[in-house]
Amino acid sequence: MKNIILISVSALLSLSFVAKAQNSAGKSEDMGRITLAAYVPQQTDKMSDAARNMLTNKLSQIVSQNGLGGSALTERFIITANIVTVSKDIVAGAPPMTALNLDITLYIGDGVEGTKFASKTISVKGVGSNETKAYIEGIKMIKTSDPAYAAFLDEGKTKIMKYYNTKCDFIIKEAQSLATQNQQDEAIYRLTTVPDVCKECFDKCIAAVAPIYKQKIDRDCKLKLAEATNLWNANQDVNAANSCGELLSSVEPSSSCFKEVQALSSKIANRVKEIDNREWNYKLKAQQQTSEMIKAYRDVGVAYGNGQPKSVTYNVRGWW
């Protein structure tokens, strides 16, 4: 099982739909929204589980002691490490001891796309009755309170923001291309998974979601209206009415064919009243507010993401 301890900062979903294009590193408040997950992959120099757990905890302490502690919101950005054994010596004694000189390189990057942003190497020495214990003793020598880590983290955060501000227009164009191929769900996923650590890019992506979401709900409306119409025309009884109700009640009111949905819904309700002398239970959706629309965008993205195959590890290929 991979060892992940998530370290994050609370991030508020921006409601802005207008933003200026900008390729600068971003504002200082964006820095405070960055989330880092401490992650140590299995590969690290045949490290034992005990040593891997300790190294993961050390990485977690480093980020939390530099103001990144909090409840987890995302696993996208990671701080990870690779250990290289520089030398191994057997120290004579009773019993003989193993001495290891280790180079531990820390990395900050995007664990989803596999983009490395910053790295820092520290050297430590560990001595123990066997190699595993020497490893652990070496990891214990990592001083998580060292002020030098602050500069390393700042470098990583600055490069994260610069990366997304620079790439923003490409992300939007790629999503728009997907939308033209009737892949609206994937397009919305691409835009809504851009992290809000870069407010300028985040706002532009949220604005770009709106017309794509409109395409999605318009298409969805036409498909559901056609299916419900065929069902109702085939058999105008209570069972058919209920099947139609399930379809029509999920149609978004801002879709282009919603008036036709309302007309069919009224027709079915009147018929149910005639044949069963009771009110039809199905109600159409109400118009959504701005905040509800943004949540709807995110829900589409989350649903698409949940349907994709899950990777068992982060992508750190080529980082060391």
Condensed to tens digits (0 to 9), the pLDDT of residues 194-227 reads: 877 678 888 999 999 999 999 999 999 999 999 9
What pLDDT, on a 0 to 100 scale, did the predictor assign at position 295? Answer: 81
Beta bridge partners of 4: 39
Query: What torsion do the CA atoms of 189, 193, 194, 200 make, to the nearest 10 degrees?
Result: 90
Mean pLDDT of 277-284: 84
Tell me 20's DSSP state: -
More confident position, 256 or 310: 256
What pLDDT, on a 0 to 100 scale, did the predictor assign at position 310? Answer: 57
Condensed to tens digits (0 to 9), the pLDDT of residues 62-82 reads: 988 876 543 333 567 889 999
More confident position, 267 or 112: 267
Condensed to tens digits (0 to 9), the pLDDT of residues 159-182 reads: 888 888 888 999 999 999 999 999
Angular region, 293: left φ>0, alpha ψ -120 to 50, beta rest: alpha
Q: For residue 308, is pLDDT > 90?
A: no
Side chain identity at residue 250, one-letter code: S
Whole-number Å distance between alpha carbons of 181 and 287: 27
Mean pLDDT of 237-261: 94
Q: Which of 3-17, 149-163, 234-248 has the lowest mean pLDDT?
A: 3-17
- 77-91/36-40 β-pairing: parallel
Alpha helix positions (H), the chain? 28-31, 49-63, 131-140, 148-180, 184-192, 199-234, 238-248, 258-276, 290-306
More confident position, 37 or 138: 138
Which residue from 237, 241, 304 is spatially nearest to 275, judged by alpha carbons?
A: 237
What pLDDT, on a 0 to 100 scale, did the predictor assign at position 286? Answer: 84
Q: For residue 57, is pLDDT > 90?
A: yes
More confident position, 2 or 273: 273
Whole-number Å distance between alpha carbons of 203 and 194: 10
Q: For residue 127, is pLDDT > 50?
A: yes
pTM comes to: 0.63
For 127, other C-beta atoms within 10 Å of its C-beta total 14
- Give me the residue label for tokens 């407010």: 199
Whole-number Å distance between alpha carbons of 56 and 67: 17
Condensed to tens digits (0 to 9), the pLDDT of residues 102-116 reads: 999 999 998 888 999
Which residue from 40, 63, 36, 62 is spatially nearest to 51, judged by alpha carbons?
A: 40
Condensed to tens digits (0 to 9), the pLDDT of residues 13-36 reads: 332 333 333 334 444 444 445 668
Question: CB neighbours of 54 closer than 8 A, spacing ≥ 6?
Answer: 136, 139, 140
